[in-house]
Amino acid sequence: MQKVKPTVLILCTGNSCRSHLAEGILRAAAGDFLNVQSAGSKPAGYVHPLGIQVMKEIGIDISGHHSKSMNEFLQQPVETVVTVCGNADQACPVYPGQLSRHHWGFDDPAHAVGTDEEKLAVFRRVRDEIKRVFEAYADGRRDQGKAKAD
């Protein structure tokens, strides 16, 4: 019998940028032992093209992602909720089976202004900040799983 992977739901307001960056990074780092999803409290209906571009630069394809409502997950067990913006943290419901919740806020690169290159620089900075946090989280969860197995 295959063990069900615990679901980690990453929430943001629009589910167009930060939550997709985090979903792609965490799925790449921990997809073998976590079911990683993202959603928004007020979904924008699209994934930001610059987010797709900066993820492609690090070898992660999120072009197939789509913007979803956090309400889509209310009827399924969600072990961990991670909010990546303050608005989602305030709007976040409690999910069935939820054991933990984290709030790790990041700047919204979708609000970046300036030239295309200046906007890309903001997207890359936020991507790299998210990458550091979520890869460390994946490492911690992996270590936790190994400790339980011993």
Looking at residue 6, its pLDDT comes to 94
Looking at residue 149, its pLDDT comes to 74
> Is 3.40.50.2300 the CATH number for 7-144?
yes
Cα–Cα distances in angstroms (integers) from residue 76 to residues 7, 47, 71, 94, 127, in the given order: 9, 24, 10, 11, 28
CA angle 60, 61, 62 (to 5 degrees): 115
Q: Which residues of the chain have pLDDT under 70?
A: 1-2, 87-93
pLDDT digits 0-9 by tens, 80-122: 999 998 766 666 667 777 789 899 999 999 999 999 999 999 9
Looking at residue 118, its pLDDT comes to 97
Which residue numbers are catalytic?
12, 85, 92
